[in-house]
Structure formats: structure tokens, C-alpha cells
Chain A
Amino acid sequence: MYTLSQRLVFIGLALAGGLLILLMRQFLNDYILSIAGFVGIYVILAVSLNITNGFTGLFSLGHPAFMAIGGYTCAILTFPVQRKGYFLSGLPDWLAGTELSFFPALLIGGLFAALGSLLIGLPVLRLRGHYLAVATLGVIIIVQVLITNMGGITRGPLGLNGLPTLTNLWWVYLWVLITLYLGWKLKFSSFGRSMLAIREDEMAADCLGINLLRTRVQALMVGAFLAGVAGGLWAHLVTAITPKSFSLILAFTIVVMVVVGGSGSITGSLLAAVIFSMLTEAFRPLEESLNVYGIGEIVLSLILILILIYRPIGLFGTSEPGWLSPGKRKSLSGTAGD
């Protein structure tokens, strides 16, 4: 269990983060703040994908699909009623007349994404290894195509634009904290150990009475819920959402973060997400000014390949820094990284 001083460290870190945001909002311009928002969203995405991929060893690439479901749901719910009739003719009346505030819309978006993951997961999670990866990649494309072709609800390929700018750093930070808390709680709970057991030795886990499919689906749903929320945050930060927003490249970017940070390590995903999203944002103006599109992706792929060759367990393996791990289980989570 956690000692009192460890709890204080967590609370201290959370407060320090809050203070940082307070200072940033005071002194930095909107452009930098929006980048900070993206960094936070990437943290949510990487840590939540880690719950699915890192903890259970399921290699899902489906995160962008769940983001799309959550993002569209959230965007439609917050879309101003006056404009709904004109833009989204296909909505049923009760929905056309509804306009929710941000937090409930995010929650519902997340729940829809989780529901979607349940429907997808029940059949697809019977696949293993790279076949699961391929199938979930297919899910991204299928969701993209469906959204593109449901014009009445989603405006098809045009997407929804002019969304209200609801996302600010505080919202992002709130969800970052929720994600980290959930991740931490799950990892060091009996559910977390079930997930890790499945990852390390499926047959042994099965023999111990762990319900494989249920644990897998649950892990996928938790990840999908957070991805859905991240989709909502994303949509209201960019103030636009199109089917192309949530692509294979995005899945790849999040996977890079998880793999480089170490599958199973929350700290690793967190740091990798911060570093890579800042790098990506740094490359964007460079690409635009020098007209060299694609450099960012090339660098990202190169880093991933090198990590896979030379340090396949990533920077942190499955472990968290010792001073943040609950006392008794430190050794357990430490050895799992070997």
C-alpha cells in the first residue's frame, strides 16, 4: 500500500501541475496554450492506450476510432441548437433540440466510445498478436468510412466546423489527472494484476481463473472511454472535426509513445507523450516554412524502429519509478519489465 508520504507526493505533484497551468495561462499566448492542450490530450491518449496495450499486451491500434466516436458524439451534443437544423438535417428531433454543456457531453462521448469498443471488442478480441493489430487497424478505416457516409448526422467528409472553443487547459488537466489516477489505480489493483497476468502468460492466467475475454474487453473499454473523452477535448480545441482527423497516422503516433515509453509503464507513456507531442508541434512550423512535409513522420518512424531493435521494452519497461510505486509491490512490477 501507499505510505502517507507517497500520497502526499502525488497530491503535491497534482498541485504543482495546477500551479504550472495557472502560471502558463497568466504569461503565455494562446498559441502556446493550445499546444500545451495538445500535449495534455496526447498524454491522455498514450496513457489510456497503455491500459489496453501495455497492461494486457493486446496490441490494439483502434484508439483513433474510439476518439472519432467520442469526438463526434461530444461535438454533436454541444453544437448550438440554432445551427443544428441547418447543418445536421439527419438528426432526430429530440437530439436536434438538445444542447449540452461540455462536461456531460464529454462523458457521454466517452461512454459511447466505450460502448463501441464493447461491440467491436467482443468478436475482435478473440484474435491475438499481429492479427488483432491488423483487425483494429481495420476498425479505424471502417469507422472513418461510416462517418464519411452518414452525412445527415456528421456532415460527411466536410466534418463539423465552427465548434465552440470549450476546451481549455483546465479541462485537459482535469482529464489528465483522471486518466493518470485511473491508470495507477488499475495497475496496482487486482484487476491490474489480472491484466498483467494475461500479458505475461495467457494460459497460466486462464488456469488461475481469470476470465480472459472479460478482462480484455474491460481493459479495451477503459481505454476507449478515455480515448472518447480525448476525442471530445480534441474537437473542441481544434474547433473542428472531420473523418480524416482520426487516422492511421494518429494511431501510429500514440503507439510510438507507448512503445518508446515502455508498454505497461504509466510514467513512461506520460513522458514519451509529452516529449513526442512537443517534438511534433515543433516540427510543424519547420515543415511549413521549409516546405518539407513528412519529416516529422520520418523521424517518428525511425525512432520507433530503432527502439524496437535496440530496446524493445522501451525506456521504462513495465515499471514506475520506485518512489512512486506502492511499497509491497515494487519488486513485482519491477521484475515484470525484464
Chain B
Amino acid sequence: MSGGYILQQLVNGLILGSMYALIAIGFTMIYGIIRLINFAHGDVVMIGSFMTLAFLQALGWPFYLVALAVMVGGALVGVAIERSVFRPMRGAPQVTGFIASLALSIMIQNMGILLLTAQPRNFSFPDIFQQVITLGAVSFRMVDLVIMLTAWILMIGLILLVKMTRLGVGMRATAENLEVARLMGININRTIMATFAIGGSLAATAGLMYGGKFGQIDPLLGFVPGLKSFVAAVVGGVGSIAGAICGGYIIGMAEVLFVGFLPPIYSAYRDAFVFGLLILILLFMPNGLFGKKSEDRA
């Protein structure tokens, strides 16, 4: 095993981790503000990738316009989900929300199958993205570079938004205490909607990246990355954005190392490993790396 191989695997982990981090941010923000594990979040990733396919291949829009439209589209999907399912349930026990999100996830996936069939579709990004870049022992495609850079820009933008802006203060105040936030005159409906919009937008962008990286999409593709990103959010400490980002990269790295360095026979156990890890973290490290004191995890 050469140093170059290890370096290459680390770069692969960074690319994968960037996508997981983007999805995990949505999980963690939504959990932070209304204590909801939104299982349907992964399916927004799927919707994002199909939007990309439609805009890019069916409508033939230029790439920058596609990216913009997917981000806006993802935000709209997030808002629609909040308005139609989770707002009417606000104040119900947490598990109610979780079960509803599970139902929503199953509904979206099956709508996908119904409308688009379960057949995987090929997905091709413009040629420029397929160019291979070689740096010493490490090589990656242009699309990988774009994924990483875009993810970083979005993450920095988000952190600035949450730290610096009025909306950000409102979102953090709402996450801390819904009722007191209302007493400050913060419109919590709007704040919660904004949170879903941001989460949806980032997840849809991750969907665009997923299509670009793996070249094939189907209506069930959201489940596995959604799940891993949820684990990432838990690892980082649910509710913490910085935690979600770190968690995303940890899971990305762990996955790459798992596949890259363990004998292939173990990779059959990959999903069991992800869930086993999740259960262990919930039991023994319920606050994750950056989370606040847990109220209800263990």
C-alpha cells in the first residue's frame, strides 16, 4: 500500500464527505429548530438529482442556470414539505414527526417509482466536468473538484448567514426557545420555513452532485446517502452545524477507508456497520462531538 494510494483515498473521502456534509447540515438544522428527525430529507437529494436531469438534459439549460434552478427548486421542496406535513403537526410528540417523515419518505420514493419507474437513468454532465486532473499521485475529475469547491462555498456562506445576519440570529433564537423567540417578535413560522428552505436547497444541490459523480440516478437513491448523512449529523452532535460538517467528512473518510483498506468480504457488511455505529454513538456518545446536552437521547 503506497503513500499515493492512501492520499488518493483521502481525497476520495473528502469528495464524498463534502456531499454528506451538505445533506447533514439540513438534518441538523431542522432537528435543531423543531426537534424533528426528518427521514424524508434524503429524498430531497433524489428530487434534486432528477431536477438536474430534467433541466440539463430535457430542457438543455446552461449549467449555471441549472445549478441555480436546482437550488431554488430544492428550497421550494423543503418549504412545501414543512407547510404540508410538519407545520400541522407542530407540538406533537417527537416520534409522531419521525413516523410522519418516514411516511413522507416512502410516499416520495413510490411517487418517484410511479412517475419515473424504478429503472436507473443515465446522467451525463457536460464534457468539461469529465476532464481528469492529476496532481502527483492523486487524480480526480473536474466534477470532483467542483463538488468540493461548491460545497465549501455553500458551507462558508451558510455559516456567515447563521452567524451574522438577522435571519441567522432569529433561527438560532428559535432553535433555543420557540416561545421566547415569539416574544421577541420573531416570526417563527417564517424562520422555520427558512430553515427547511436552506436544508432543502443544500440537499438538492447534493443531489446534483450525486448525479454528476455517479452518473446514474433512480428514485430510491436518496435513502443511503440520507441515512449516512443522518449518522454524520449524530456523530457531529445533532443541532450543531459545525458538527454536521465534521461528521460528514468523518463518515465520508470512514466509508472510503472501510472500502479501500479492509478485505472485500467486509464491504458486504457496510450498511450493518453504518447502523451499528449509529446505535453505538446514540448509546455512548449521545451529544456527538459538538452537541449540547441531550434531553432525550439516552
Do A and B belong to a common assembly? yes
A: residues with CB less than 8 A from B are 59, 123-124, 126-131, 133-135, 137-139, 141-142, 145-146, 148-149, 249, 252, 255-256, 259, 292-295, 297-298, 300-302, 304-305, 308-309, 312
Known: A301-B106, A309-B89. A131 touches B113 (CB 8 A): no
B side interface size, CB within 8 A: 39
Are A138 and B279 CB-contacts (below 8 A) given A298-B111, A305-B100?
A: yes
13 contacts between A and B (CB under 8 A): A59-B99, A129-B95, A129-B98, A129-B296, A130-B94, A138-B279, A141-B272, A255-B102, A294-B113, A294-B114, A302-B107, A309-B88, A312-B92
- The secondary-structure label for the interface of chain A is helix
Q: Measured between alpha carbons, how far is A213 from B221 in the docked complex, in Å?
A: 38
- What's the minimum C-beta distance from B12 to chain A, rounded to whole angstroms? 23
Main secondary structure of the interface of B (DSSP, over half): helix
Do A294 and B283 contact each other (CB < 8 Å), given the known contacts A128-B296, A141-B272? no
Given A294-B114, A295-B114, A308-B100: A135 in contact with B89 (beta carbons within 8 A) = no
| Residue from A126, A294, A304, A309 with most neighbouring chain B CB atoms (10 Å) | A294
Residues of chain A with a CB closer than 8 A to B279's CB:
123-124, 135, 138-139
Alpha-carbon gap, A255 to B106, bound state (A): 13
- Bound complex: CA A312 to CA B37 (Å): 18
Chain B residues whose C-beta falls within 8 Å of the C-beta of A293 in the assembled complex: 110, 113-114, 118
Contacts of A308 in B (CB 8 A): 89, 92, 96, 99-100, 103
Q: Which of B88, B99, B286 has the most CB of A within 10 A?
A: B99
Q: Specify which chain B residues have a CB less than 8 angstroms from the CB of A297 in the assembled complex.
A: 106-107, 109-110
Chain A neighbourhood of B1, CB < 8 A: none
Specify which of B94, B98, B104, B272 is in contact with A305 (CB 8 Å cutoff).
Answer: B104
Which B residues lie within 8 Å of A294 (CB)?
A: 109-111, 113-114
Contact between chains at A142 and B275 (CB < 8 Å): yes
Q: Contact check, B102 vs A145: say whether CB atoms are below 8 A apart.
A: no
Residue of A nearest to B270 (CB): A145
Q: Which residues of A sit under 8 angstroms from B85, Cβ to Cβ?
A: 305, 309
Find out whether the CB atom of A131 lies under 8 angstroms from the CB atom of B296: yes
Q: How far is the CA of A138 from the CA of B230 in the complex (A)?
A: 12
CA of A5 to CA of B3, assembled, Å = 82
B271–A145 CB distance below 8 A:
yes
B293 an interface residue at 8 Å Cβ cutoff?
Answer: no
CA distance A54 to B39 in the complex (A): 22
Q: Say whether B107 contacts A141, CB under 8 Å.
A: no
B4 within 8 A of A: no
Of the candidates A59, A123, A142, A298, which one forms a contact with B272 in the assembled complex, judged by CB atoms under 8 Å apart?
A142
Given contacts A130-B98, A139-B275, 4 further A-B contacts (CB under 8 A): A124-B283, A130-B37, A134-B37, A145-B269
Q: Please indicate the chain A residues that have their CB under 8 angstroms from the CB of B268 in the complex.
A: 145, 148-149
Chain B interface (Cβ < 8 Å from any Cβ of A) = 37, 85, 88-89, 92-100, 102-104, 106-107, 109-111, 113-114, 118, 230, 268-269, 271-272, 275-276, 278-279, 282-283, 286, 296-298
A294 (CB) vs chain B CBs: closest residue: B110
- Residues of A within 8 Å of B95, CB to CB, are 59, 129-130, 133
Q: Indicate if the CB atoms of A138 and B103 lie closer than 8 Å.
A: no
Q: Among the listed A127, A130, A138, A301, which residue makes an inter-chain contact with B104, where contact means beta carbons less than 8 Å apart?
A: A301
Q: Could you tell me the distance between the alpha carbons of A128 and B297 in the complex, rounded to whole angstroms?
A: 6
Bound CA–CA A298/B57 (angstroms):
28
**Complex contacts, B275 vs chain A, CB 8 Å:** 137-139, 141-142
Residues of chain B within 8 A (CB-CB) of A137 are 275
Instruction: Tell me whether A126 and B106 are in contact in the complex, defined as CB-CB below 8 angstroms, given that A255-B99, A294-B114, A308-B92 are known contacts.
Output: no
Known: A133-B99, A301-B107, A312-B96. A127 touches B272 (CB 8 A): no
Q: Looking across the interface, which residue of chain B has its beta carbon closest to that of A146? A: B272
B103–A252 CB distance below 8 A: yes
Complex: chain B residue closest to A253, CB-CB:
B106
Q: Is the CB of A305 within 8 A of B103?
A: yes
User: How many angstroms between the C-alpha atoms of A131 and B296 in the bound complex?
Assistant: 8
Given contacts A148-B268, A294-B113, A305-B85, are A138 and B278 in contact (CB under 8 A)? yes
The distance in angstroms between the C-alpha atoms of A89 and B251, with both chains bound, is 37
Complex A-B, nearest 4 residue pairs according to Cβ-Cβ distance, in ascending order: A138-B275, A294-B110, A145-B272, A301-B107
* Contact with B278, one of A59, A126, A134, A255 (Cβ below 8 angstroms): A134
Cβ 8 A contact of A304, one of B99, B110, B113: B99
| Partner of B282 from A127, A146, A255 at Cβ < 8 Å | A127
